[in-house]
Amino acid sequence: MSSVSAPAADHFPSREVAHHAARMGMWLFLASELLLFAGLFTGYGAYRYLYPEVWAQASKHLDVVLGTVNTVVLITSSLTVALGVHFAQRGKNRMTLLVLGVSIALGLAFLGIKGVEYGHKIAEGALPGRFYSYEGLQLPGASMFFSVYFLTTGLHGVHVVIGLAVLCWLSWKAWRGEFSRERHLAMELGGLYWHLVDLVWIFLYPLLYLV
Amino acid sequence: MREAELEEQRTGRGHAVRYVVVWAMLLVLTATTYLTSRADLGSWNIVLALIIAGVKAGLVALFFMHLSEQQGVNRMVFVVSLAFVALLIGLAVTDLATRTRTALPPGYPEAPPDRQGVQQRGHQRQSGEQLRR
């Protein structure tokens, strides 16, 4: 499938090889992202092991309803991004733009709900370290749970914001009609990033809110 | 991937439905993990929750992220990164689990965990350690 519309850079024998290399680069980047989050998950595991009582009780102080709604919102946005890749691969720019718009709306909804949750926690004083002043849970190590909570969801939230910026950029490309059967690599790789954000949340949700 | 795509172009059938099926499965699994967490299964709660999360992550990676269609090296990158994640978490927790009690930070409940006494003892230990410093 050699095409004049999307030539490969000179050092690649073909566009196919170039795309394979690009995908691999993206997967390497995602692997490094996984390890970045793994550091925080390790902290979670260590402190959960040290303060089992705190973990059992503190997780009940999180809002399970908001957490579950956010999970559904994020999973649905992953679906719409997957559909975006699907349409971009077929050169259907208008459909791509539509599903990306839905994805961006869902991403913003996720951040909004997260903001409401943070607001509750800040009002209660359920904050990390020495800022902890929550009356409802006074156990040694209680502030550690909320340190881990804010660090993991905070880093995840930063990734949602970056993901949203990427989705906006892809929407702009779709609006200009840049995607075609030959040219859709950007959508594919941008989509991968968004799915990673979803992937991390899939683990954060049960670990923080449920168990 | 090429073959599947060419086949699809020939037949003119899209596989967008597949994504919707995966999405529905993810929602069902989310409901399952929520409902099972309500039941008290002891330490099996977290095991079950992690298994369900693992299945969900697998679905996202294989179908939404097209890992099932990737060539060898790209799959390997992902699998190797997962191995390192397991190594990091596994070794860190094993380290903690095999330490003697005195090396654990203040506030750690001494065996057997006694719900009322934990807080007080924790504070005593903390002040004790401050004195030693």
Cβ distance of A75 and B26 shorter than 8 Å: yes
pTM over 0.90? The answer is no
Q: Tell me how close the Cα of B52 comes to any Cα of chain A, in angstroms.
A: 9
Does residue B129 register a pLDDT over 70?
Answer: no
Does residue B1 register a pLDDT over 60?
Answer: no
**Nearest CB partner across the interface for B65, out of A71, A192, A203:** A192
Does residue B131 register a pLDDT over 60?
Answer: no
- The pLDDT, as a whole number, for residue B109 is 57
Residues A104-121: tens digit of each pLDDT:
999 999 999 999 999 999
Give me the total of CB pairs closer than 8 Å, taking one residue from chain A and one from chain B.
Answer: 151
Does residue B23 register a pLDDT over 70?
Answer: yes
Question: Could you tell me if A146 and A58 are in contact, meaning their C-beta atoms sit under 8 angstroms apart?
Answer: yes
Cβ distance of B49 and A90 shorter than 8 Å: no
Question: Could you tell me if A187 and A84 are in contact, meaning their C-beta atoms sit under 8 angstroms apart?
Answer: yes
Question: Could you tell me if A48 and A55 are in contact, meaning their C-beta atoms sit under 8 angstroms apart?
Answer: yes
B46 interaction partners in chain A (CB closer than 8 Å): 207, 211
- The pLDDT, as a whole number, for residue A112 is 97
- The pLDDT, as a whole number, for residue A57 is 87
Measured CA to CA, the distance from residue B107 to residue A115 in angstroms comes to 31
Does residue B112 register a pLDDT over 90?
Answer: no
A39: Cα separation from own chain's centroid = 16
Q: Which has more pLDDT, B34 or A131?
A: B34
% of chain B exceeding 70 in pLDDT = 65
Cβ distance of A205 and B97 shorter than 8 Å: no
- The pLDDT, as a whole number, for residue A172 is 96
For the segment A155-179, the average pLDDT, to the nearest whole number, is: 96
The torsion defined by the Cα of A40, A43, A48 and A54, in degrees rounded to 10, comes to -80
Cβ distance of A206 and B109 shorter than 8 Å: no
- For residue B70, give every residue at least 6 positions away whose Cβ sits within 8 Å of its Cβ, in sequence order, or none: A23, A27, B1
Q: Which has more pLDDT, B44 or B124?
A: B44
**Nearest CB partner across the interface for B89, out of A42, A72, A78:** A42
Q: Tell me how close the Cα of A120 comes to any Cα of chain B, in angstroms.
A: 22
- The pLDDT, as a whole number, for residue A134 is 83
- The pLDDT, as a whole number, for residue A7 is 59
SS (H, E, C) B7-40: HHHHHCCCCHHHHHHHHHHHHHHHHHHHHHHHCC
- The pLDDT, as a whole number, for residue B6 is 55
| pLDDT band for position B8 (cuts 50, 70, 90) | low
| pLDDT band for position B97 (cuts 50, 70, 90) | confident
Q: Tell me how close the Cα of A119 comes to any Cα of chain B, in angstroms.
A: 24
Question: Could you tell me if A196 and B57 are in contact, meaning their C-beta atoms sit under 8 angstroms apart?
Answer: no
Question: Could you tell me if A59 and A144 are in contact, meaning their C-beta atoms sit under 8 angstroms apart?
Answer: no
Cβ distance of A50 and B19 shorter than 8 Å: no
- The pLDDT, as a whole number, for residue A189 is 95
**Nearest CB partner across the interface for B53, out of A27, A32, A203:** A203
Place of tokens 């709900």: A113
What number is the ipTM of this complex?
0.87
Cβ distance of A38 and B50 shorter than 8 Å: no
Residues A117-149: tens digit of each pLDDT:
999 998 888 888 778 888 777 777 888 899 999
Helix pair A185-205, A15-50: axis angle to 10 deg: 10
Cβ distance of A202 and B56 shorter than 8 Å: yes
For the segment B103-130, the average pLDDT, to the nearest whole number, is: 50
Cβ distance of B96 and A34 shorter than 8 Å: no
Residues B51-83: tens digit of each pLDDT:
999 999 999 999 999 888 877 788 889 889 999
| pLDDT band for position B5 (cuts 50, 70, 90) | low
Measured CA to CA, the distance from residue A159 to residue A154 in angstroms comes to 9
Residue type for A45, please?
A: G
**Nearest CB partner across the interface for A27, out of B77, B92, B119:** B77
% of chain A exceeding 90 in pLDDT = 67
Question: Could you tell me if B122 and A143 are in contact, meaning their C-beta atoms sit under 8 angstroms apart?
Answer: no
For the segment B90-113, the average pLDDT, to the nearest whole number, is: 70
**Nearest CB partner across the interface for A49, out of B16, B20, B97:** B97
Cβ distance of A46 and B96 shorter than 8 Å: yes
Nearest-CA residue of chain B relative to A84?
B16
Measured CA to CA, the distance from residue B58 to residue B16 in angstroms comes to 19
Of A22-26, A82-86, A98-102, B42-46, which range is least confident?
B42-46
For the segment A192-200, the average pLDDT, to the nearest whole number, is: 96
For the segment B102-123, the average pLDDT, to the nearest whole number, is: 52
Measured CA to CA, the distance from residue A93 to residue A180 in angstroms comes to 8
Measured CA to CA, the distance from residue B90 to residue A42 in angstroms comes to 8
